[in-house]
């Protein structure tokens, strides 16, 4: 083809048409869906109750409520027998003593899933506390055995025993059987004694409350006293506290009368040999249990 003809042919065709730019469509957002409403037939978990029994160890005669969801024939209240077992449908005997409700829950779940129920959902709650208790003795309104209802603290046990009487000492003790790491008692019946100032405990200045263990013995002794006589406004018996001074004792007795003197104070004191002697005291001196403090009259 002649050169001019070829050029004319190309011009006639023109340049290739450009493809117009097309904006991509905006992504389609999936429709918002709301979570399906909770199944009204699903029992609600009482979290406070679960927290209370988290550290409780099951024992004989305890009653446990076992719920297997969607299995009404299995859900019931079961009692731990004297051997520490419960009898449960399908899996027969299940060891329950010495473990927590959560551990029993996992044990039953594992046993049911081994060929009986696919992916069982199990919940265990303590229905009746029968196996564990502490003993509160001494100056409380209702001394005796106090059942442990889940995790129990010292303050809760004292309240369950009617609380200390007005003659109770603030220095109380908790005697506890010393145990090995596996929970068995140490040979020789070794006992740990924990001493607690109840007033500090109630005021929150003694640190955390004491969590009790099965078999703990709580003793609330009678308070030691002193007697303040003579020229004070309210003579009589006063509860002795460690470190109490003569000045503090007089203040608890209502203070001096108008004729009372803060000098020449004497006390009848019992010596270690049982004899009574008279001692002279200053205001800053410490008094001892059973002292009879005598506040004299002013000399005009």
Exposure letters 126-150 (e unless 16+ CB within 10 A, then b): beebbbbbbbbebbbeebeebebbb
Note the pLDDT of residue 115: 86
DSSP of 142-185:
S-EEEE--SS-BHHHHHHHTT-B-TTB-SEEEEEEE-B-TTSPB
pTM here is 0.62
Give the H/E segment covering residue 105: helix 101-113
pLDDT for position 68? 95
Chain-centre distance for alpha carbon 168: 23
State how far the Cα of 21 lies from the Cα of 23, in Å rounded to an integer.
Answer: 7
CA angle 210–212–218, rounded 5-degree value: 90
Domain extent listing, the chain: 47-128, 133-220, 225-295
Top-confidence residue, 213 or 45: 213
CATH of domain 133-220: 3.10.560.10
- How does residue 31 score in pLDDT terms, banded at 50, 70 and 90? very low
Homologous superfamily (CATH) of 225-295 is: Outer membrane lipoprotein wza domain like (3.10.560.10)
pLDDT digits (tens, 9 = 90+) for 210-252: 888 888 999 999 999 999 999 999 999 999 988 999 999 999 9
Q: What percent of the chain has pLDDT over 90?
A: 57
Please state, for a pLDDT cut of 70, what percent of the chain lies above it: 79
For Cα atoms 281, 250, 299, give the angle at the middle one, nearest 5 degrees: 65
Check if 133-220 and 225-295 are the same fold.
Answer: yes
How much is the pLDDT for 187? 77
> Is the pLDDT reported for residue 98 higher than 80?
yes
Paired tokens of 63: 């009653």
State residue 293's pLDDT score.
98
Structure tokens of 278?
């008279």
Per-residue pLDDT, 50: 47
Q: What is the pLDDT of residue 219?
A: 97
Q: Which residue has the higher pLDDT, 27 or 283?
A: 283
Instruction: Specify the pLDDT at position 7.
Output: 43
Q: How far apart are CA 204 and CA 206, in angstroms?
A: 6
Is the pLDDT at 3 greater than 60? The verdict is no
Kindly indicate whether the domain formed by 47-128 is annotated with CATH number 3.30.420.40: no
pLDDT in tens, 123-171: 999 988 888 899 999 999 999 999 887 778 899 999 999 999 988 998 8
């Amino acid at each position: 083809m002649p050169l001019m003809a070829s050029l004319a042919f190309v011009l006639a065709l023109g340049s290739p048409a450009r493809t117009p730019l097309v904006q991509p469509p905006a992504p389609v957002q999936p429709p918002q869906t709301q979570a399906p409403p909770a199944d009204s037939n699903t029992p609600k978990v009482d979290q406070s109750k679960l927290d209370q029994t988290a550290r409780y160890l099951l024992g004989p005669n305890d009653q446990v409520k076992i719920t297997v969801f969607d299995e009404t024939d299995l859900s019931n209240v079961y009692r731990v027998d004297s051997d520490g077992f419960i009898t449960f449908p399908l899996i027969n005997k299940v060891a329950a003593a010495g473990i927590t409700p959560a551990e029993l829950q996992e044990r039953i779940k594992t046993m049911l899933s081994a060929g009986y129920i696919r992916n069982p959902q199990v919940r265990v709650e303590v229905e009746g506390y029968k196996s564990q208790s502490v003993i509160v003795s001494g100056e409380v309104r209702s001394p005796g055995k106090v059942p442990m209802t889940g995790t129990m603290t010292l303050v809760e046990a004292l309240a369950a025993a009617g609380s200390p009487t007005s003659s109770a000492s603030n220095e109380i003790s908790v005697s506890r059987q010393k145990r090995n790491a596996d929970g068995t008692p140490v040979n020789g019946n070794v006992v740990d004694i924990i001493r607690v100032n109840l007033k500090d405990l109630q005021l929150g200045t003694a640190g955390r409350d004491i969590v009790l263990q099965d078999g703990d013995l709580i003793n609330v002794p009678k308070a030691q006293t002193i007697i303040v006589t003579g020229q004070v406004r309210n003579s009589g018996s006063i509860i002795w506290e460690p470190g109490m001074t003569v000045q503090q004792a007089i203040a608890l007795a209502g203070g001096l009368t108008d004729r009372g003197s803060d000098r020449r104070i004497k006390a009848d004191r019992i010596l270690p040999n049982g004899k009574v002697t008279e001692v002279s005291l200053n205001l800053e001196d410490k008094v001892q249990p059973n002292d009879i403090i005598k506040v004299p009259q002013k000399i005009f």
